[in-house]
Structure 1
Amino acid sequence: MFIRILFCVLLLSPGLSQVHAQAEQAPLRVGITNVPPFVMQAEDGRWEGISIDLWRAVASGMDRRFEWVPMSFNSLLTATESGEIDVAVGALTMTADREARFDFSHPFYQTGLAIAVPPVPKQGLLASLKALVSWQFVSVVLALGALLLAVGFLLWLVERHRNPEQFGGSAAEGIGSSFWWAAVTMTTVGYGDKAPISFTGRLIALVWMFAGLIMVASFTAAITSSLTVSNLRTGIQGVDDLPGKVVATIANTASRRYLEEQRIRYQLYPDLTSAMISVSEGETDAVVYDRALMQYRNQQLGPQRLSILPGIFAQQLYALAMPAGSALRGPISQQILSATESGDWARIQSSYLGQD
């Protein structure tokens, strides 16, 4: 009896080994969600991105086949926790709450929140010349010219008969002389070649002298504002300047939580592109979001591109996620370290994010 049982076991053992080997070689179910530039789908249907390229290197190093399982972000977290998928690939931030639900690999990307503000024009002679022909500058000059003409005309009316030597002649000549007097008096140059002699004329001159001081200051400020090529609209140079501003961000994100914790007023938008466009169009003062994602999206805005301030805050780490207790955690972390230490890793990042 014992010999018969042993014979049956020997017959079945090759089959059991084959089933076990097939189970080991079953394709890994890799959950992904669209989050450019880490995971995105090309026009031909292929998946690409920083995390996609990283996972391909990891799977190649492990010599494992895999299949993509696209899903929404919330479904991705649920599927990872339940074990429906073997690995979650994307831009998952390592947090204590998530670590309690599933396991993370070694982090592969360090990032954080950053601030984007309206673009700062480049300073230079060409920018200054363009400002000189802007409508803001021209309108100020026209308004000042109209005021000088009005004051000159008023002085000509009261001086043309009492002081014909300086303000006489034809109407054009008299008004021209009065216009000249109003200009040199306003600028406090006062050549002294022309001066009113009547009481009314001198009263006009006295008022105009004091008004001229205000006019020169206002005109100088208008010109300075027109020629200034710096980001004066928001005055945001860092995170300390955000209080009192209206900041664009996206719901259910780390950036929104940060703004709430800091009691900074914010406006929610459905996606990053619309949030960034709101800044370029003046609806909001700045946008706070993940630097890497904002850096990638900024390249696609064209003329509405923003200026991303240097530095990050509220640092975050990205990693791959697996069900709790997964045997893949060790091998995947080892391959991530190998991939991120290679010379290709910097090339992969710059190919999607550009040079920062």
Structure 2
Amino acid sequence: MAETKSITKPLSILFCLLFMFISVPAQSTSTNNIKQDSLIKVGSYHCPPFVIHENDEDYTGLTILLWEQIAKRLNLQYEIKQYPLTELLDAVAEGKINIGISCISITPEREERLDFSHSFYETHLAIAVKKQGYLASIINILTNKKLLLVLAILLCAAALIGSVFYFLEHKINDKLYSMQTRPARFVEGFILGLLFITKGPFNYFEFKTLSGRVLTVIIAIFSTLFIASITAVLASTFTLGLLNSDIKNPNDLANIKTGAKKSSTSSQFLTNHSIVHKAYNTVEDMLVALEKGEIEAVIADDPVLKYQIKKAKERGVYTDMIVLPYQFEKQNYGFAIEDNSPYEEELNRALLKIRQSIEWRQALNKYFTDIP
């Protein structure tokens, strides 16, 4: 019996050691796939306000702030290297770097070559132009097809209303129809209809026939809405005419000289819509070309355009540039990640938590406050 106990005790110790040997590594690998002592190779490119690259060592901006917070949460060691956009995406796809950070739009074409993190910023493409001079703006407004259509509707409505009231009232209403000749009375009828449309219904008691008074009440119900609608259309037409009447929607870019950043989603959008355009290396290069008159419009991501034009105006340049009020081609920014990345899951979890933080909202306010 004593011999059996002496054999059982060493076996129990052996099984305990074996269990500890198996369980400890499994637990450590399941909590974090990132090797803490490894150096993460990060690529970026200059894209204010998301990445602002002042010199070789100084990186600031929204995306840099987001990455620094993620690296801090995951206890990562990393180094950042600057790339042009095309080379950055190639470096991630070829495994030369582990991650690309900037204002990188998530697209199906890019997804075929590399992976992306969850989106951290949603935006759209926008168009920037130079304001026209007053004379050119007036000419464009007067030749605006929408304005001409509205004026035609106004004149037709005035003629119709004036004709109806003339038929009902001209024989018995000397106050409204005082001219002696028939053509002059027709003119009076048209003026009455025009005043009715632009000014609103006349006083009920101005008309002597029952039909005229009933018609006045009926028109009064609809005239306020009609005048409000016409006013809104005219206001929109005049506003857009002062901005740039040659561009009513993105398809109008086919008729003017347009610039876009090389290998960007804006360039891809123009190519997909068969719009010939000139490619530039940076947004700054495009704005310089727009200022010099080499191109007539710039297409790029909305926050990037607005931020750079705002900063330029603070320096006293590009004061005539504006971003048109058109939203199209939604964009989602994410981190470009190498295929089968071992740290994608941890990175996404950290990203989602930081996006919900007060620090992230404060950073957004810092960079985008006072941007029209």
Q: Give the TM interval when normalised to the shorter protein.
A: 0.5 to 0.7
1:248–1:276 contact (8 Å) kept in structure 2: no
The 1:231/1:273 distance shift into structure 2, 3 A limit, reads farther
2:83 is equivalent to residue 68 of structure 1: no
Q: What displacement does 1:236 show? A: 2.4
Of 38, 47, 52, the match for 1:35:
47
Other-structure match for 1:337: 352
1:231 pairs with 2:242: yes
Question: For structure 1, which runs of at least 5 residues remain unmatched after alignment?
Answer: 1-5, 122-126, 128-227
Q: Which residue of 2 aligns with 1:322?
A: 337
Tell me the matched-pair count.
Answer: 242
1:102 shift after superposition: 2.1
Residue 261 of structure 1 and its aligned partner are, at CA, apart by: 2.5
Partner residue of 2:111 out of 81, 85, 99: 99
1:45 is paired with a residue of what secondary structure? coil
Deviations 1:301-330 (A, max 9, x none): 333141112242111211112221112111
Q: 1:327 to 1:43 in 2, by over 3 A?
A: closer
Distance of 2:292 and 2:300 partners within structure 1? 18
1:296 aligned onto 2:310? no
Match of 1:244 among 252, 255, 272: 255
Normalised to the residue count of structure 2, the TM-score between the two structures is 0.56
- Look up the match of 1:313: 328
Asked whether the 8 Å contact 1:246–1:284 carries over to 2, the reply is yes
1:5-154 paired onto structure 2 within 5 Å: 23-42=35-54, 45-119=57-131
- Please give the secondary structure, in 2, of the residue aligned with 1:248: strand
The whole-number CA distance in structure 2 between the counterparts of 1:72 and 1:278 is 20
Q: Deviations over 1:29-58 (max 9, x none)?
A: 222222322222235832111110000111
**CA–CA separation in structure 2 for the residues paired with 1:101 and 1:64:** 25
Q: Which amino acid aligns with 1:73?
A: L
Given the alignment of the two structures, is residue 272 of structure 1 paired with residue 283 of structure 2, yes or no?
Answer: yes
Cross-structure match for 1:347: 362
State how far apart, in whole Å, the 2-side matches of 1:269 and 1:72 are.
12
Aligned mates of 2:325, 2:356 — CA distance in 1: 25
Using the TM superposition, give the Cα deviation of residue 255 of structure 1 relative to its aligned residue in structure 2, in angstroms.
Answer: 1.7
**SS of structure 1 residue aligned to 2:102:** strand
Report the RMSD for the aligned CA atoms in angstroms.
Answer: 3.6
1:58 is matched by which residue type in structure 2? I
**Does the 8 Å CA contact 2:125/2:266 hold for their aligned counterparts?**
yes
Q: Partners of 1:313 and 1:59 in 2: how far apart?
A: 34
**SS of 1:268's equivalent?**
strand
Q: Which residue of 1 aligns with 2:269?
A: 258
Partner of 2:159: none
Whole-angstrom CA distance in 1 between matches of 2:105 and 2:240:
38
SS of the equivalent of 2:350 reads: helix
Q: Percent identity?
A: 26
